[in-house]
Chain A
């Protein structure tokens, strides 16, 4: 278990640095969604099923959808 959580932790920090430094905004949003999903695995390892279900449905599902819809509206406002 300790090796597993170590690997997931390293991947999460790498994704975070990549999400901040990415050139396109779409890449940053997808990295954020992947980080949310990996944190669900860490919550299950720490024996917290309530928090895992809430983060999976609210964080990785709806936050990503709201980000993508607002990116669509920002591009429209730029073009016009």
Chain B
């Protein structure tokens, strides 16, 4: 009975959405058809032309200097520069969830061991591969304004390197300094915002000079902010994994 009722409710929801998708886009609530979008009617046209504050001519890769954000990756310039306050909220939500996991599960001295025996070939190979994974993560968030990626997948790949080290060796735990690193990087992001407030007059404004579009040292504070976010997310997710493998503490 419960199952039939839930199937009916799910089918009703799907039918309602299909009706909205098939309606004419001249209605006021019609979602535009897949692919037929006029970008000049949306605010993203200003983000693409990098002309939110003043009008800008054509932007060319490697030639234009002192553009508004100066980063070649447009999604990065939206996430870190135009809508940077939402990123601050997201970093806060991750911090709260990592604190919650640490309160509920952490603090134990022992850790769960692996069920199968790991051969020394796997142990030695993982000690070679895990630093390569961390270097890949650092590359992804340092070049966040030139190539796709950014702070969040870079930090996740660093946490995957940590997970490899922990899954193979039965004695390894995280260092104590991991949680301190995470908190410090969070504070640093807020301090960069306050520095923007003191120097230029708005919170989290881009106050370093933005160089030529396409070089490594360009785009103002965007590489700095993404490095801070990448280190913070990497330390946070590693701390969550470390809390999940510990046991024996006085949990709630």
Chains A, B in direct contact (C-beta < 8 Å) = yes
The reply on B235 being an interface residue by CB < 8 A is no
The reply on A78 being an interface residue by CB < 8 A is no
Question: Are A73 and B156 neighbours in the complex by a CB distance under 8 Å?
Answer: no
Chain A contact residue count (CB 8 A cutoff):
17
If over half of A's interface residues share one DSSP class (helix, strand or loop), that class is named, otherwise mixed; here it is helix
The reply on A11 being an interface residue by CB < 8 A is no
Question: Given that A50-B75, A65-B163, A72-B112 are contacting pairs, would A57 and B153 also be in contact in the complex, using a CB cutoff of 8 Å?
Answer: yes
Question: Are A62 and B160 neighbours in the complex by a CB distance under 8 Å?
Answer: yes
Question: Are A50 and B112 neighbours in the complex by a CB distance under 8 Å?
Answer: no
* Minimal Cβ-Cβ distance residue in A for B114: A72
- 1/0 per residue A31-55: CB within 8 Å of B? 0000000000000000001101110
The reply on B106 being an interface residue by CB < 8 A is no
Nearest Cβ on chain A to B18's Cβ, whole angstroms: 14
The CA of A67 and the CA of B245, in the complex, are separated in Å by: 12
For chains A and B in complex, what number of residue pairs have CB atoms within 8 angstroms?
Answer: 49
The CA of A17 and the CA of B42, in the complex, are separated in Å by: 37
The reply on A69 being an interface residue by CB < 8 A is yes
The CA of A29 and the CA of B194, in the complex, are separated in Å by: 43
Question: Are A73 and B112 neighbours in the complex by a CB distance under 8 Å?
Answer: yes
Residues of B within 8 A of A73 (CB): 112, 244, 247
Question: Are B156 and A61 neighbours in the complex by a CB distance under 8 Å?
Answer: yes
The reply on A22 being an interface residue by CB < 8 A is no
The reply on A66 being an interface residue by CB < 8 A is yes
Nearest Cβ on chain B to A43's Cβ, whole angstroms: 11
Question: Are B244 and A66 neighbours in the complex by a CB distance under 8 Å?
Answer: yes
Residues of B within 8 A of A76 (CB): 112, 247
The reply on A27 being an interface residue by CB < 8 A is no
* Minimal Cβ-Cβ distance residue in A for B75: A50
Residues of B within 8 A of A65 (CB): 163, 241
Q: Which residues of A contact B (CB under 8 A)?
A: 49-50, 52-54, 56-58, 61-62, 65-66, 69-70, 72-73, 76
A-B contact pairs, 30 of them (CB 8 A): A49-B148, A50-B75, A50-B76, A50-B148, A50-B149, A50-B150, A52-B148, A54-B149, A54-B152, A54-B156, A56-B153, A57-B153, A57-B156, A57-B157, A57-B160, A58-B153, A58-B156, A61-B160, A62-B160, A62-B163, A62-B237, A62-B241, A65-B241, A66-B241, A66-B244, A69-B245, A72-B112, A73-B247, A76-B112, A76-B247
Q: Which residues of B contact A (CB under 8 A)?
A: 73, 75-76, 112, 140, 148-150, 152-153, 156-157, 159-160, 163, 237, 240-241, 244-245, 247
Besides A54-B156, A73-B247, 17 other A-B contacts (C-beta < 8 A): A49-B148, A50-B75, A50-B76, A53-B148, A53-B149, A54-B152, A57-B156, A57-B160, A58-B152, A61-B156, A61-B160, A62-B159, A65-B163, A66-B244, A69-B245, A70-B244, A76-B112
